A and B are shown apart, each in its own frame.
Chain A
Amino acid sequence: MNTQAMLWALQRASAAVLALCVAVHLVTIIYAVQGGLTAADILGRTRGNLAWALFYAVFVVAAAVHAPIGLRAVLGEWLRWRGRSRDAILALFSLSILALGLRAVLAVFA
């Protein structure tokens, strides 16, 4: 499989994961705010809950894989930006999503 086919496959696979994660995330939010919501409520549910931590960790990883591949096409098509410099910036972008996201997951878990 060449690089482009690999990126395509990764984008597809991460999209499938994201579709599920976003649905669960939204339904949970709507369900949770029914009776009002406070930070204490959220933390009460997420602190020490490994299942939620894992769920959101998967969510973050999928986003870190998915977004840069889409952005890569946008940059190529609209700014005619290709080559190593674009991929380096996107790798950095991916790592930023990963770092910020996982930090947030850890913050509500620990």
Chain B
Amino acid sequence: MKVLVKRQHTFQEFEVPREPSQTVLDVVTYIQRELDPTLAYRYACRVGMCGSCAMEVNGVPRWTCRTHVDRVAEKETLTIGPLRNLPVVRDLVTDMREFFDKWARAKGAFAGRRSRRDDFETVSPESKRRRQADAGIECIGCAVCYAACDTVTWNPAYLGPAALNRAWTLVSDVREDRNAERLLAVSGEDGCHACHTHVSCTELCPKGISPTAGIAGLKRALFKA
């Protein structure tokens, strides 16, 4: 199989043998171990938990450890590059700083009302708000949605789908204490109101989360605030 790997400003071609159940991460690892040890890429868990191995595969951002070559190779060719919308450190490694700084800007940290001396708050898993929060809580921070988002490309200050999804899970959390402040932080032209509802984030989220729904929720919450 022909594999084209983006390296700085060019694509380098490699020939990689096909294996059964081969993932895109397997392909990149093969290249680095057998063909060119200078290739830089990032991964950790290999099982879709850590969110560190996302890359652009044939023009589409994907989690490479859970993406089978069978599903994405076009005419026995793979083109692999770093995620879009993020600065490249080297080869397939992007600088995720801005991506996570935006989580902080969207007040992505939980702040409860109770202290460790108080009893646990009882939250029914069946309640509407808990189910709303649960719908977005499994985000692994892989930045696939962020790379897929055209609004981020056009407006680099836009918080992006992952940070807004995180804010929405907290706005939906009945234990959360700082939602007035959070809603203010996620509103406006760099926040939820900038979303064009292209739904690329929702279509490509490997965890099946819909940041689009969360962003719509934030707009509704801001309208009521």
Contacts and interface: CB of A to CB of B under 8 A. Distances in A.
Interface of A: 1-2, 4-5, 7-9, 73, 76-78, 82
Interface residues of B, number: 14
B193 A8 contact: yes
Interface of B: 151, 154-155, 184, 187-189, 191, 193-194, 219, 222-223, 225
Residue with the greatest number of chain B CB neighbours at <10 A, chosen from A2, A7, A73 = A2
Contact of B155 (A1, A4, A77): A77
Contacts of B219: 5, 8
B111 to A, nearest CB: 21
A78 B154 contact: yes
Contacts of A8: 193, 219, 222-223
Q: State the main secondary structure of chain B at its contact with A.
A: helix
Given A5-B219, A73-B194, A77-B155, 4 more contacts: A5-B223, A5-B225, A8-B219, A77-B194
B189 A76 contact: yes
Contacts, number: 36
A18 B189 CA distance: 24
Residue with the greatest number of chain B CB neighbours at <10 A, chosen from A5, A73, A76 = A5
A68 to B, nearest CB: 15
Contacts of A7: 193
Nearest to B187: A4
Residue with the greatest number of chain A CB neighbours at <10 A, chosen from B154, B184, B189, B194 = B189
B223 A1 contact: yes
A4 B189 CA distance: 8
Contacts of B191: 4
A2 B222 contact: yes
Contacts of A2: 184, 187-188, 222, 225
